[in-house]
């Protein structure tokens, strides 16, 4: 037992009767949030406890044997896993963008905010975690997985997001080391704290010095020391007395870590990389596939060349169009970043640009992040503002534009965000509120606008769910054919899951084949997703064996690991057959490969494939 753990025991022994009584009542009465709040106040008075405990503190002070029983009853932040996966965002070390710097871009090396990743300020949650962990990928992943367990969630299906400027433009060895570190952390976390699929809460609490105060310097040092020992142990195994590994050896280490992640408890079911269109062409896409990437966040920022020129973006709209098509033809799902209020634009142009994303088949993203421009200290845009050369967008205008756009958003797209994570008080001008999404919702309510994007219709947010059936939506995108197959309750406008099927563009085969695995008779499954709060991969295994073969699906089965994913996949295979395709190619997350193997798919290159 560490000294830190012993100190906590000495300090908190007097609270044991309080927490024990609280836990006993929670187990017995299963109180609502309101009743639990009243119960805390009542027991604090009885036991003379000065500070009312948070839900997390109750969870961490519960006896190990009661942890799993009460975690669902007092689980916090349900929206973190309502979409079915646990998001783990990691930040890469600061590095220069290959084209230079956009006029709007904060951060970077020796910036006003210090040396922080480019386009960030050091005050965003993910950036702060990166700084705290010295941008070490292994430590960042460990830290985030710990947080999920503490919040009472099951983080065994991870969507890993690599943030921090244009990662794909960095040194090859850095990229390989970084991604390997992420996979290794998931594998080691699984090995350390799980046995036969179950969490060893005693071991977990001892390792992370829990209960403990977040930000406590002594606790942080103790945890980092333990994690550094794990990193050092892994390095010694890898290098075997060599100073460093060469590129070929690093690739082997990545493949080894990925292979282990296929069957471990904490699995990476999706990997996202942020990039720019000029660093998002077919060659970059092929490299991202080797890393295990399934989704690309593409900073197109505008559909107008004069706007891109004004902000010194370093690429034009045509480059964006080429990148979008090539990445879709490789099977990636795409999340566009689009900005409002940029120099050279105006509210009318902003709305026109948002609509163009879906009117024009050259764009049509699967997901969208809308970022109203903020004037940040130290940027060229700040100087333009000082010289009266630029008029910033206001919170009110941004909210009105987004609300109007929500009328036209197609049902196959998900609006992921409507503003950056940057604290508004850091900006010189621009949006000055951190709750822009709520303001947009208020405008929508006033104007009777109903958003039908995927996020607004997810089953986890629904008040009522009845009969669910499969719906096909066919549309042209990036010179290929897309099928958005969704499992929906049409009556209540609820979506339980979906599959994105693509027939690649002709340009994927001419003048040169984009990849040997992708033939003219191939159909790509770019995404298969079932909504509902993330469940353990091994949970309800027996219930999965019986799948209703009808088109209609009982609403009760419309959650993860209960057959809906298989039904969507089977339907996609049928559409491909009807269109004389003989091969299905899935861009699968590393941790989802086993799922596809059980359905008759085999690994071919970075994909899972099946002849039909």
Percent of the chain with pLDDT over 70: 90
Q: Predicted confidence band at 11 (pLDDT cuts at 50, 70, 90)?
A: very low
Answer yes or no: do 453 and 466 share one domain: no
Average pLDDT (370-381) is 98
Which of 17-31, 36-50, 379-393 holds the top average pLDDT? Answer: 379-393
Cα 41 to Cα 22, 30, 67, 70: the distances in Å are: 11, 17, 22, 19
Q: How far is residue 364's CA from residue 357's CA, in Å, rounded to a whole number?
A: 5
Quick check: 564 pLDDT over 60?
A: yes
pLDDT over 90 at 235, yes or no: no
Same domain, yes or no, for 415 and 536? no
Q: Which of 464, 2, 447 has the alpha carbon at shortest distance from 210?
A: 2
Query: What pLDDT, on a 0 to 100 scale, did the predictor assign at position 77?
Result: 58
pLDDT score, position 65: 84
* 549 and 488 part of one domain: yes
- Among 28-42, 184-198, 537-551, name the one with the lowest average pLDDT: 537-551
Domain end position, chosen among 426, 457, 488:
457
Using CA atoms, how far apart are residues 483 and 131, in angstroms rounded to an integer? 42
Distance of CA 569 to the CA centre of its chain: 22
> Are both 88 and 210 inside the same structural domain?
yes
Please check whether residue 293 lies inside any domain of the structure: no
Q: What pLDDT sits at residue 320?
A: 98
pTM: 0.89
How sure is the predictor about 532, in pLDDT bands with cuts at 50, 70 and 90? low
Residue that is last in its domain, among 71, 92, 115: 71
Of 294, 293, 331, 271, the C-alpha closest to 502 is: 331
Q: Supply the pLDDT for residue 241.
A: 64
Please, which pLDDT band fits residue 462 given cuts at 50, 70 and 90? confident
66 and 113 both lie in a single domain: no
Same structural domain for residues 138 and 270? yes
Tens-place pLDDT, residues 247-268: 999 999 999 999 999 999 999 9
The whole-angstrom separation of Cα 325 and Cα 336 is: 13
Among 125, 311, 382, 528, CA closest to 338 = 311
Share of the chain above pLDDT 90, in %: 77
Distances 317 to 74, 90, 481 between C-alpha atoms, Å: 48, 29, 22
Range 408-415 average pLDDT? 98
Kindly state whether residues 91 and 26 are assigned to the same domain.
no
pLDDT number for residue 79:
52
In this prediction, residue 461 has a pLDDT band, given cuts at 50, 70 and 90, of confident
Strand order in the sheet with 267-275: 86-91, 157-163, 267-275, 295-301, 333-340, 367-372, 414-417
Tally of structural domains, the chain: 4
| Last-in-domain residue among 244, 275, 306 | 275
Cβ partners under 8 Å of residue 481, min gap 6:
474, 475, 502, 503
Q: Is the peptide bond before 211 cis (omega within 30 degrees of 0)?
A: yes
312 within a domain of the structure (yes/no): no
Please tell me the predicted confidence (pLDDT) of residue 544: 42
pLDDT at position 37 over 70 = yes
Residue 28 maps to a domain: yes
- Among the residue ranges 39-43, 150-154, 489-493, the one predicted with the least confidence is 150-154
Lowest-confidence segment of 127-136, 193-202, 231-240, 528-537 by average pLDDT: 528-537
In a domain, 207, yes or no: yes
Domain span at residue 346 reads 329-457
* The pLDDT value given to residue 82: 58
Distance (Å, rounded) from C-alpha 112 to C-alpha 422? 15
Domain presence at residue 287: no
In a domain, 284, yes or no: no
With 70 as the cut, is the pLDDT of residue 554 above it?
A: no
Q: Assess contact for 130 and 116: CB atoms under 8 A.
A: no
Question: Looking at the structure, do residues 440 and 505 belong to the same domain, yes or no?
Answer: no
Structure confidence at residue 115 as a pLDDT band (50, 70, 90): very high
According to the model, what pLDDT value does residue 519 have?
95
pLDDT for residue 238 is more than 50: yes
- Residue-wise pLDDT for 61-107, tens only, equals 888 888 878 877 876 555 555 566 899 999 999 999 999 999 999 99
Tell whether the model's pLDDT for residue 559 goes beyond 70: no
CATH number where 584 lies: 3.40.630.30
Residues 137 and 213 in one domain: yes
Give Cα separations from 82 to 76, 354, 458, 461, 471 (angstroms): 12, 27, 8, 8, 22
Q: What is the mean pLDDT of residues 488-513?
A: 95
User: Is the domain of 119 the same as that of 233?
Assistant: yes
Range in 227-231, 363-367, 603-607 with the lowest mean pLDDT:
227-231
| Residues 321-337, mean pLDDT to the nearest whole number | 98
3-state secondary structure of 374: strand
Residues 122 and 263 in one domain: yes
Sorting pLDDT into bands at 50, 70 and 90, what band is 528?
very high
Whether residue 203 sits in one domain with residue 90? yes
What gap in Å lies between CA 377 and CA 359, rounded to an integer?
36
Is 321 within a domain?
Answer: no
Q: What is the pLDDT, as a whole number, of residue 61?
A: 87
Does residue 148 fall inside a structural domain?
yes
pLDDT computed for residue 545 by the predictor: 41
Of 154-168, 207-221, 531-545, 561-575, minimum mean pLDDT range? 531-545
Q: Residue 540: what pLDDT? A: 43
Residues 289-299: tens digit of each pLDDT: 999 999 999 99
Average pLDDT of the residues in 204-209: 92
534 pLDDT higher than 60: no
pLDDT at 25: 93
433-448 pLDDT, tens digit each: 999 999 999 999 999 9
Average pLDDT over residues 448-460: 95
Higher pLDDT, 403 or 237: 403
């Amino acid at each position: 037992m560490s000294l830190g753990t012993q100190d906590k025991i000495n300090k908190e022994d007097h609270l044991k009767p309080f927490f024990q009584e609280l836990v006993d009542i929670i187990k017995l009465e299963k109180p609502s949030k309101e009743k639990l709040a009243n119960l805390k106040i009542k027991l604090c008075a009885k036991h003379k406890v000065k500070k009312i405990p948070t839900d997390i503190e109750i969870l961490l002070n519960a006896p190990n044997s009661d942890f799993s029983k009460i975690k669902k009853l007092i689980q916090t932040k349900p929206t973190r896993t309502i979409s079915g996966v646990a998001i783990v965002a990691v930040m890469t070390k600061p590095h220069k963008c290959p084209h230079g710097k956009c006029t709007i871009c904060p951060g970077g090396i020796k910036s006003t905010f210090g040396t922080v990743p480019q386009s960030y300020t050091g005050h965003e949650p993910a950036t702060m975690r990166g700084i705290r962990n010295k941008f070490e990928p292994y430590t960042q992943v460990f830290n985030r997985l710990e947080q999920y367990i503490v919040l009472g969630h099951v983080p065994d299906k991870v969507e890993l997001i690599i943030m921090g400027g244009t990662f794909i433009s960095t040194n090859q060895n850095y990229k390989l080391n970084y991604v390997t570190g992420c996979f290794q952390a998931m594998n080691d976390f699984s090995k350390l704290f799980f046995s036969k699929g179950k969490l060893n809460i005693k071991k977990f609490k001892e390792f992370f010095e829990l209960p403990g105060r977040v930000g406590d310097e002594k606790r942080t040092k103790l945890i980092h020391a333990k994690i550094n020992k794990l990193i050092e142990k892994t390095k010694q195994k890898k290098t075997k007395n060599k100073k460093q590994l060469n590129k070929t050896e690093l690739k082997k280490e990545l493949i080894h870590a990925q292979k282990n992640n296929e069957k471990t408890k904490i699995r990476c079911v999706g990997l996202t990389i942020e990039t720019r269109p000029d660093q998002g062409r077919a060659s970059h896409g092929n490299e991202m596939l080797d890393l295990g990437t399934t989704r690309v966040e593409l900073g197109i920022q505008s559909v107008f060349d004069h706007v891109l020129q004004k902000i010194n973006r370093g690429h034009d709209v045509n480059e964006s169009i080429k990148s979008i098509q090539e990445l879709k033809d490789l099977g990636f799902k795409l999340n566009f970043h689009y900005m409002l209020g940029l120099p050279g634009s105006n509210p009318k142009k902003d709305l026109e640009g948002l609509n163009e994303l879906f009117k024009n088949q050259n764009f049509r993203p699967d997901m969208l992040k809308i970022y109203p421009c903020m004037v940040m200290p130290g940027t060229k845009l700040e100087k333009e503002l000082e010289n009266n050369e630029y008029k910033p967008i206001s919170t009110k205008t941004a909210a009105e534009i987004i609300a109007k756009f929500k009328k036209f958003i197609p049902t196959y797209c998900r609006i992921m965000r409507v503003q950056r994570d940057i604290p508004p008080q850091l900006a010189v001008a621009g949006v000055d509120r951190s709750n822009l999404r709520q303001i947009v919702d208020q405008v929508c309510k006033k104007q009777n606008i109903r958003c039908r994007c995927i996020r607004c219709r997810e089953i986890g947010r629904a008040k009522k769910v009845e009969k669910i059936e499969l719906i096909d939506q066919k549309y042209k995108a990036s010179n290929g054919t897309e099928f958005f197959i969704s499992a929906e309750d049409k009556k209540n406008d609820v979506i339980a899951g979906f599959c994105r099927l693509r027939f690649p563009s002709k340009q994927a085969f001419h003048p040169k084949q984009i990849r040997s695995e992708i033939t003219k008779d191939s159909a790509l499954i770019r995404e298969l997703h079932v909504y509902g709060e993330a469940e353990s991969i091994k949970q309800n295994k027996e219930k999965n064996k019986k799948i209703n073969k009808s088109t209609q699906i009982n609403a009760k089965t419309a959650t993860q690991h209960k057959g809906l994913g298989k039904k969507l996949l089977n339907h996609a295979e049928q559409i491909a057959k009807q269109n004389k395709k003989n091969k299905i190619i899935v861009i699968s997350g590393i941790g989802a490969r086993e799922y596809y193997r059980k359905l008759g798919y085999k690994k071919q290159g970075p994909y899972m494939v099946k002849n039909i």
